[in-house]
Amino acid sequence: MDELVTLISQKVGIDAALAQRAIGIILDFLQREGPTDEVNALIAALPGADQAIAGAQAAPSGGVIASLGSLMGGGGIMALGSELTAAGLSMGQMQTLGRELFAYGREKAGEDVMGPIVGSVPGLAQFV
């Protein structure tokens, strides 16, 4: 996970703690919204991913905003955007983060894992 956190931190222009939190937020979102087998394969290919997800869930906005959004009829990619905004990311940073995270995922887990994830979550393709 350190390699990915460093990459995201440098490419997005954020500190390592925020990069780790943002990665955790996205992976947590994918666990809720993506295809189970492929998301589990991605998480298995990223050592430390479970800890990043747990950290995102424990943070004040981690998971809570998405849950509230779902209760109010929102959810999906909009809930993810809200969580990342609450964490301190701009829209441009979110797009860079998405591109870099999914490119890294393709490198580590393969296109056969990442393709179905992107294809199954409405609106996700615009960020990756």
Distance spanning both ends of the chain, measured CA to CA: 19
Pick from 17, 25, 22, 12: nearest CA to 65: 25
- pLDDT tens string, the chain, 128 residues long: the values are 999 999 999 999 999 999 999 999 999 999 999 999 999 999 999 999 999 999 998 876 544 444 444 444 456 899 999 999 999 999 999 999 999 999 999 999 999 999 999 999 998 888 78
Quote the pTM value: 0.88
**What residue ranges define each of the domains in the chain, with the CATH number in brackets?**
2-127 (1.10.490)
At 128 the pLDDT is 81
